[in-house]
Amino acid sequence: MTTGVIPGGQSPEPRPTDPQLPEQRREPGGHGPLHVDNRTRSAVITARAAASFEPVGRSVATARSFVRDTLQGWGFGDIVDDAVVLTSELVTNAVVHAGTAADVLCLRSDAGVRIEVADRYPEREIPLQGAAINMGSPDREGGRGLQLCAALAGRWGVEYTPTHKNVWFLLDLPERPVGTRAAGPALPAAMLPLADGRVRVAVVQIDRGGSITSWNEDAETLFGYAAEQVTGKPLTDLAAWPHTPGTGTGIAEALRLSRWEGSYGIRGAHGRVIPVYASHLRVRDTGGEPSTVCLLVQDHERAVLQTPSRVPASTDAGTAPDGQSADPFEVFIGSPAPDDLDGLLQRTVERARDMLDADAAFLLLATDDETELEVRASTGLPSARQRFARVPVEAGPGRYGSARMPAVHDDLAAVPGAVPLLHGTGMRSVVTVPLKVEGRLTGSLGVAAEAPGRYSNEEALRLQFAADRIALAVESARLGELERLRRGSLSFLVEASDLLAGTLDRDQTLALMAQMTVPTLATWCAVYTIADQASEPYLSYVLHEDEDLIDGIKSLLSKVPPPDPVPTPGARIWTTPAEAAHQAALRTSMRSLGLGDSPHRVGTSVGPTLATASAIGGETVVLPLVARNRVIGMLTLGKPTDEHFRQEILELAEDLSRRAALALDNARLYSERTAISQSLQRSLLPPGLPEVAGVEVDVIYRAAGEGNEVGGDFYDLFPIRDGAYGFAIGDVCGTGPEAAAVTGLARHALRLLAREGFGGPAVLQRLNSAILDEGARSRFLTLLYGELWPQEDGSAVLKVVCAGHPLPLRLRQDGTVEPAAEPQPLLGVMEDLELYEQTVTLDPGDVLLCVTDGVTERREGTRMLGDDGLADVLTTCTGLTAGAVAARIMRAVERFASDAPSDDMAILAMRVPEIMTD
């Protein structure tokens, strides 16, 4: 892959295009014809990133990572998921389906991000302008790239040249809040924002420690406190700050910023919260001491501090000064409204709490089937424990048991369990109202107080009005969040599938499963595996986002019974880890106090730390790993203490578990097959080479094919009787287990027949008959067989038969190389063979080299090593030992071509040592 990034403000030169081939654009809806997109691309390019990817499967994942890193580096995280999905589809089309390299180009401009994917398919048909194009079914596996462009991109198109096809798409940037303030134009008086009488601007100055040092007359009028009452007190005592989940800025942090603007509340002397719009400016005096000047106006008069001006402030709760109705949503929520769902929900519960002067408020959203409500925001409650918890819509009979109707409870102590969310919180009175859109239940809003009898039907009516004002905005934001989650889930599953499909190693598959779930889906996870139906689940892998806690969690889980291997799909709650963590934490605390162990015991010497117990003490779910109708394991996901899983996360985890189960089962089957194959293949190799007095012997063997230790080539050296040895080197047609079966037949038959006293021709003739008896399973065989007799004078006599095999080569001491036998018919083809043996005498210093055709037929393009090339290499081996000769031949073969060998190779070298004289 090659990449390049060019920042700056100059637009790159446009791609050359054929004037007869204008840009093609697919209309967003339907299956209509393509149309010309004549809109200019005049936006200034501010950054450019390009990369090229080879036509291999792994390039798809690499391209996704390139686009993701590029857009995140540019700060465009909002559109990363869409860009990754579209790039994945288009690069797949190029490198997998078209089989060409792919060029990816990312362009950043003020209008958005344009991404181009070009392939180099040279014979693609150019469609006629205006011709209808059938994009096919959206449910089929392939061909969805253009459909996704039409669905996700703001603009897209296809450009053709005689050698390239370029598909591009443009993703618009989401609207973002203005980061700087600018002076507006001069406006007529009638267009200026209205103020309710005199605009009172409270000027409050705060020292370094956050305490009030200055409080003007307007502040006294607005909030009812005299300056001497508040001077020296922290502003945080008066401020009602909106605690929005996911944001770390509070009132203390805001006061330390150089400049800040926004809405919050000030609790007045009458106890009510007064919404204000504030502008904070950080200054320092001549002595260098910092302080913060706060300008505060009533929230509906924010136009005084803000530019450009907004809609004129309303004179009452729902009517604008000109008599037109103001937006009821803006009246309740305030402006500007939060642009994210969590912020909107948090603002809603805070306003609802203040409106009814409550101690707590909460908001729940309905699930898709409207059977349950999920806690999404709360104030005044232990939100960490309640967030994402679920309660049924119909909790009991009658009006007060359903979330579909407003309900007022005067005293929860009299009706225990009436509002499960508030159990154990100390709240006594509560009013709840439904959120509905077009008659469909979308949520529930409630406020609660610690005192009984605080609310009546009048408060329920006021709260229902507020719920009606915000219901549509909440539902719209919820649907937007679901769409973003869906796109993020799609991107997550695409990458997960690629990673799981990229390995057949069981341990690596287990590690990938865990690493994909933590911390994306859960805080910790554990994978249990089941070897067979009679085996118990075994804890195979544990992972936590904090590595220091992994050993403690593993220790705790190993002491509790594993979850039941139930094949029912979906996540189910598993309470055992949380209970064990609670009991273990209790025992640890009691030991630290010197009180001894608790009477409740989980197991002996569990002993996790309190941190481990807290990490595993939340909600835990178990998802079965089912492959081929059998439970092969369980995926366990957990949260820390008092946290719950969202339903969308559980559904995504279920999709992941199905993919992970198949990957794990494939890895298991592959490991079993490889182990069996290698065990059988190792049995076909000779157990070892015997020591031959007066002759050096060495062998190098390489089997082609992944996981093969023995293929179609084989060798053997064995004693026949005293002073005589048999040797063989052969090549069975083909490779792999089928060829290895004939290898076993040949090797064992040679040993048996030779030891029965048969000569070389007789041995090969009987072996030929045995191969032919195999019928359709038989394979032809080339074989060099010989018998070796070391002589007392230091030489060695060999009798060889070369049945269709590459001829053995003899290297003399003077460096000459010559064939040591003549070719004869191969085995396994004809029934009647007339074979004869030839005698060769090796003098001291001579070498006999025997190889299979995987050596001589080694290729690099149109070149082949051949017999002549082998002889040339052997010529350079004068004076080397047998092992050195075999090693030099193998190095020459490997270096002859860059690709891995595609055929089995065997090298057998025999050398008669030179006679040493004093």
pLDDT, mean of residues 335-349: 76
**CA 245 – CA 437 distance, rounded (Å):** 25
The pLDDT, as a whole number, for residue 805 is 93
Instruction: Please tell me the predicted confidence (pLDDT) of residue 23.
Output: 39
Q: Work out the average pLDDT over 177-196.
A: 56
- State the Cα–Cα distance between residues 313 and 606, nearest whole angstrom: 64
Which pTM does this prediction carry? Answer: 0.47
Average pLDDT (142-166) is: 75
Q: What's the pLDDT at 642?
A: 66
Band the pLDDT of 140: cuts 50, 70, 90. Answer: very low
Compute φ and ψ for 553, nearest 5 degrees.
Answer: -65, -40
pLDDT(100) > 70: yes
pLDDT tier at 98, thresholds 50, 70, 90: confident
Q: What pLDDT was estimated at residue 24?
A: 38
In this prediction, residues 875-880 reach a mean pLDDT of: 92
Nearest C-alpha neighbor of 374 from the set 667, 654, 645? 645
Q: What tokens does 886 get?
A: 């075999």
What is the rounded distance in angstroms from the CA atom of residue 442 to the CA atom of residue 552? 42
Question: Mean pLDDT over residues 153-167, rounded?
Answer: 82
What confidence tens digit (pLDDT) does each residue in 252-304 have? Answer: 877 887 777 778 889 998 888 898 888 888 888 888 899 999 999 888 787 77
Question: What pLDDT sits at residue 180?
Answer: 34
Task: Read off the pLDDT band of 337 (50, 70, 90).
Answer: low
pLDDT at 40: 41
Give the pLDDT of residue 875. Answer: 93
pLDDT score recorded for residue 332? 60
Mean pLDDT along residues 780-788: 92
What is the C-alpha to C-alpha distance for residues 244 and 145, in angstroms, rounded to an integer?
39
Mean pLDDT, range 820-844, rounded to an integer: 90
Backbone angles phi, psi at 583, to 5 degrees: -65, -40
Name, in order, each residue with C-beta under 8 angstroms of 455's C-beta and a sequence gap of 6 or more.
356, 408, 410, 429, 430, 431, 447, 449
pLDDT value for 330: 55
Query: What is the side-by-side order of every strand in the sheet holding 620-627?
Result: 538-544, 524-529, 630-638, 620-627, 572-573
The b/e string for 284-299 (b: 16+ C-beta within 10 A; e otherwise) is eeeeeeebbebbbbbb
- CA 718/CA 750 separation, integer angstroms: 10
Residue 680 · residue 867 · CB < 8 Å: no
Q: What order of strands is seen across the sheet that includes strand 259-267? A: 212-215, 202-206, 290-298, 273-284, 259-267, 239-240
Percent of the chain with pLDDT over 90: 20
Q: 31: which 2 tokens?
A: 């299956």
d(CA 540, CA 526): 8
pLDDT for the residue 18: 41
SS (H, E, C) 470-482: HHHHHHHHHHHHH
How far the first Cα of the chain sits from its last, in Å, is 64
Please determine, for residue 761, whether its predicted confidence score (pLDDT) is greater than 90.
Answer: yes
Q: Is 878 exposed, middle or buried (0-12, 13-18, 19+ CB in 10 A)?
A: middle
Tens of pLDDT, residues 667-697: 888 888 777 777 776 777 787 888 888 899 9
**What is the reported pLDDT for 5?**
42
Mean of pLDDT values over 211-224: 93
Distance CA 806, CA 888 (A): 19
Residue 390 reports pLDDT greater than 90? no
Please write down the HEC assignment for all residues of 160-196.
ECCCCEEEEEEEECCCCCCCCCCCCCCCCHHHCCCCC
Binned at pLDDT 50, 70 and 90, residue 710 comes out as low
Select the more confidently predicted residue: 351 or 75: 351
Q: pLDDT band for 320, please (50, 70, 90 cuts).
A: very low
Answer yes or no: is pLDDT of 58 > 70: yes
Residue 596 binned pLDDT confidence (cut-offs 50, 70, 90): low
The structure tokens 């945080």 sit at 236
pLDDT at 271: 84
Q: What per-residue confidence (pLDDT) applies to 133?
A: 44
What is the model's pLDDT at position 917? Answer: 60
Tell me the average pLDDT of the chain.
Answer: 78
d(CA 98, CA 844): 61
